[in-house]
A and B are shown apart, each in its own frame.
Chain A
């Protein structure tokens, strides 16, 4: 063996799976203007773009999901401000393309695990807006009978294994879902969503390590919206890109533009294929942005105004994807107006349903409590 080959082999041993790094390098594209990111990795070239294409129906469905999430979240903010919804609310506005693209790449029977900012994932997985709104209203007709609220929405039929009020709380649970799917042998997969902040928590390391050694069918989707409340990701994550952390688990690390639902779709689809074939987990980092603060009462003054304006104007998944579908002649302006109208009606209906739904029974609650 030549000295060069020996060097390469040594490097490979030190760096782990070099293929993961190669995928990373491919994603780096310095053409985009991006004032505040350290690197410009917003573009992705998926391996599959030539082999797979999205049908018009799929694209329209993606747009509908994105708009649905946006309008639902806008409504919840309004309701929060008049105290119809209380406690904590973490709107998903700005990040819709991640949930929409990712959930489009899996089946109804697959699982998702979500975060405190979980409405988007729930809706993208097929949640009924009525039951979601009822849950936010604390009514007994909600997904969790009014006991969970915004941060704990779950539904077995949807394969939604729970939003979570603890940062990173769902990541270890994804390991269990992974074991379950592996043992079951039906090629089911789990998408585990989490934030940039969660990747700094010990459970991230434990869970990805375990998922990797056991080759569990889990797709880890990090929604890097650049902030953990007020803490900048670029100041709190020791490596430049979270996807790079995949190297320590010898799994592929993929960076994707989280404002592009099709890019997210293809990246997740690839990872889903790997998982179904028993090749183990993948770490996908979706670069995205939270248009609002951490919650409705957070003015996010810790963010640079120019940065926020850039993302709201240039990286709005609703605006951009509408424009794209119009440009591709898949929809026209009237079609989009109709979609908006329909969705608005659906959102209004969910509010009506929530308003009219009954509260949980206090007596029943006290009875149950005696049994816990």
Chain B
């Protein structure tokens, strides 16, 4: 099977869906000739023309509003917010409008909108360009939250997101764009609410998503050397969450470590921990452990930046703690 970059997988998904459905169009900043800030849209302007690849001024509220307005009048837009940190400028449109419009109008106005964005630290782009804000959107009823980790996942999930009739927060990670992975030539989609066990194991479940999946897999490799069999559980979609698969995994391993790049306070990780503790308490042999980013805006200095996010060694340490080793 061929290997392509994460961002190429995104590009393929978008091209396939735009060819499949003339109602799909793109709107965002620098997505025209520039091809998108991370080049995921390279060549799309030439392919589909400026009517379907709409390059906008720096107007996040208007971009999302444009997405909503087009979605409720029969189109299927993919609106891009360049950095998840900038969703702050569009929060009313995302939270008060998009997330609620279908519900508040009694299903009158359906809003098939994909909001593509990316976050995460590691590029040295400092506090206002490195956040992990998925918890905000996780918390708003009416938003689906998708955080794919691999090229295979991102392509299948993006196609599903575009075909979904609801508002989907599609959160990529800046450090994954160039990672290559196996992606079939044939068309495929991945349903929401179906987790992927990236590595099977018996002794502990490591719940990880987005960039942390790679660190969890590294940790699992290291742990194997020490005779610990770790299962890496990638939910792929946080809303809807594959709770059943997670509970089953925990029932099997009796130990859970949750890894998130975001800081722990008010995090998705905390919510997962509470859920599992409530529903699988009798199967847990130890309290759920969370490995999270530090409670800080991400620093510019590289050493400090790296210290602010979880690494393989932190996951290994946490697994050993949870196993009492």
Closest chain A residue to B72, Cβ basis: A161
* A342 touches B (CB below 8 Å): no
The answer to whether B97 and A210 touch across the interface, beta carbons within 8 angstroms, is no
Q: Which of B13-21, B57-65, B151-159, B223-231 contacts A (4 or more CB under 8 A)?
A: B57-65
User: Are A154's CB and B61's CB within 8 A?
Assistant: no
In the assembled complex, A279 has its CB within 8 A of some CB on chain B: no
Using A169-B92, A172-B93, A183-B75 as known contacts, say yes or no to A372 and B65 having CB atoms under 8 A apart: no
In Å, the complex CA distance between A178 and B27 comes to 13
Contact B65 A173 (CB under 8 A): yes
Contacts of A174 in B (CB 8 A): 65, 69
Of residues 88 to 103 in B, which have CB atoms within 8 Å of A's CB atoms? 92-93, 96-97, 101, 103
List the A side residues contacting B97 at CB < 8 Å: 164, 166, 169, 172-173
**Which residues in window 31-73 of B have CB below 8 A to A?**
51-52, 54, 56-57, 59-62, 64-73
A172 touches B68 (CB 8 A): yes
Shortest Cβ distance from B140 into A: residue: A372
CA–CA, A152 and B59, complex, Å: 25
A111 close to chain B: CB less than 8 A: yes
Is A175 engaged at the interface, CB distance under 8 Å to the other chain?
Answer: yes
When the two chains form the complex, which single residue of A153, A155, A207 contacts B65, counting CB atoms closer than 8 Å? A207
- Residues in A whose Cβ lies below 8 Å from that of B69: 113, 161, 172-180
Given the complex of chains A and B, what is the CA–CA distance between A203 and B59 in angstroms?
Answer: 8
Question: How many B residues, CB 8 Å from partner?
Answer: 38
Contact of A210 among B56, B71, B72, B92 (CB under 8 A): B56
Q: Is B142 an interface residue (CB 8 A)?
A: yes
Asked if A210 and B73 sit within 8 Å, CB to CB, the answer is: no
B148 within 8 A of A: no
Q: Select B66's contact among A164, A166, A172, A181, beta carbons within 8 Å.
A: A172
Evaluate contact between B57 and A173: CB separation under 8 angstroms. Answer: no
B324 interface residue per 8 A CB criterion: no
Q: When each residue 161-200 of chain A gets 1 if its CB lies under 8 Å from chain B and 0 otherwise, what string results?
A: 1101110010111111111110110000000000000000
A147 to B106, CA, bound (A): 6
B109 is an interface residue with CB less than 8 A from chain A: yes
Kindly list chain A residues whose C-beta atoms are within 8 Å of the C-beta of B27.
179
| B108 contacts A143, C-beta separation under 8 Å | yes
Q: How far is the CA of A214 from the CA of B141 in the complex (A)?
A: 33
Q: Give the chain B neighbours of A143 by CB distance below 8 A.
A: 105-106, 108
- B66 touching A175, Cβ below 8 Å: yes
Chain B residues closer than 8 Å to A154, beta-carbon distance: 101, 104-105, 108-109
Check if B184 is an interface residue, CB within 8 A of chain A. no
B119 within 8 A of A: no
B189 smallest CB distance to A (angstroms): 20
Closest to A172 in B: B65
Given known A-B contacts A143-B108, A148-B104, A180-B75, A171 and B96 have beta carbons under 8 A apart: no
Let me know if B65 and A213 touch, CB within 8 A: no
Contact A372 B141, beta carbon cutoff 8 Å: yes
A59 to chain B, nearest CB (A): 31
Closest A residue to B67 using CB positions: A176
Query: Quick check: is B74 within 8 A (CB to CB) of the other chain?
Result: yes
B186 at the binding interface (Cβ < 8 Å): no
Query: Which residue from B60, B72, B96 sits with its C-beta under 8 Å from A169?
Result: B96
For B51, list chain A residues within 8 Å (CB): 183
Could you tell me if A176 and B73 are in contact, using CB atoms closer than 8 angstroms?
Answer: yes
Q: How far is the CA of A144 from the CA of B59 in the complex (A)?
A: 30
Bound complex: CA A206 to CA B74 (Å)? 23
User: How far is A164 from B51 in the complex, measured between Cα atoms in Å?
Assistant: 28
Within 8 A of B (CB), among A79-135: 111, 113
How far is it, in angstroms, between the C-alpha of A142 and the C-alpha of B107 when the chains are bound? Answer: 12
| Distance (whole angstroms) from the CB of A345 to the closest CB of chain B | 27
CB distance from A186 to the nearest CB of B (A): 11
Is B6 interfacial (CB-CB < 8 Å)?
no
Give the distance in Å from the alpha carbon of A267 to the alpha carbon of B106 in the complex.
Answer: 34
Docked complex Cα distance between A280 and B82 (Å): 27
Tell whether, in the assembled complex, residue B62 and residue A177 are in contact, meaning their CB atoms are under 8 Å apart.
no
| B170 contacts chain A at the CB level, 8 A cutoff | no
- How many angstroms between the C-alpha atoms of A169 and B61 in the bound complex? 9
Judge whether A252 is part of the interface by a CB distance below 8 angstroms.
no
The chain A residue sitting closest to B69, CB to CB, is: A176
Contact with B along A33-56 (1 / 0, CB 8 A): 000000000000000000000000
Task: Determine whether the beta carbon of A147 is less than 8 Å from that of B96.
Answer: no
The CA-CA distance from A58 to B51 in the complex, in Å, is 38
- Check if A258 is an interface residue, CB within 8 A of chain B: no
Contacting residues, chain A, for B103 (C-beta < 8 A) = 147, 372
| The residue from B67, B68, B72, B104 contacting A144, defined by CB atoms under 8 A apart | B104
Q: Does B28 contact A (CB under 8 A)?
A: no
Q: Does B77 contact A (CB under 8 A)?
A: yes
The answer to whether B68 and A176 have CB atoms under 8 Å apart is yes
- Choice from B61, B67, B107, B108 contacting A203 with Cβ under 8 Å: B61
Contact assessment for A162 and B109 in the assembled complex, using a CB-CB cutoff below 8 Å: yes
Contact (Cβ within 8 A) A180 B74: yes
Tell me if A144 and B96 are in contact (CB < 8 A): no
Q: How far is the CB of B30 from chain A (nearest CB, A)?
A: 15
Among B61, B77, B106, B108, point to the contact of A172 (Cβ < 8 A): B61
Check A203–B62 contact: CB distance below 8 A. Answer: yes
Q: How far apart sit A162 and B65, CA to CA, in the bound complex (Å)? A: 13
A357 at the interface (CB under 8 A from B): no
**With known contacts A176-B71, A179-B54, A210–B104 Cβ distance under 8 A:** no
Cα of A293 to Cα of B8 in the assembled complex, Å: 57
A214 to B63, CA, bound (A): 13
With A172-B93, A210-B62 given, can you name 5 additional A-B contacts, CB distance below 8 Å? A169-B96, A176-B65, A179-B27, A207-B61, A372-B141
22 contacts between A and B (CB under 8 A): A143-B105, A148-B105, A152-B105, A155-B105, A161-B69, A161-B72, A166-B92, A172-B61, A173-B65, A174-B69, A175-B65, A176-B68, A176-B77, A179-B66, A179-B75, A181-B73, A183-B25, A203-B61, A203-B62, A206-B61, A207-B59, A372-B142
Q: Which 9 pairs between the two chains have the least Cβ-Cβ distance?
A: A176-B69, A172-B65, A145-B106, A206-B59, A144-B106, A206-B62, A154-B105, A180-B73, A177-B69
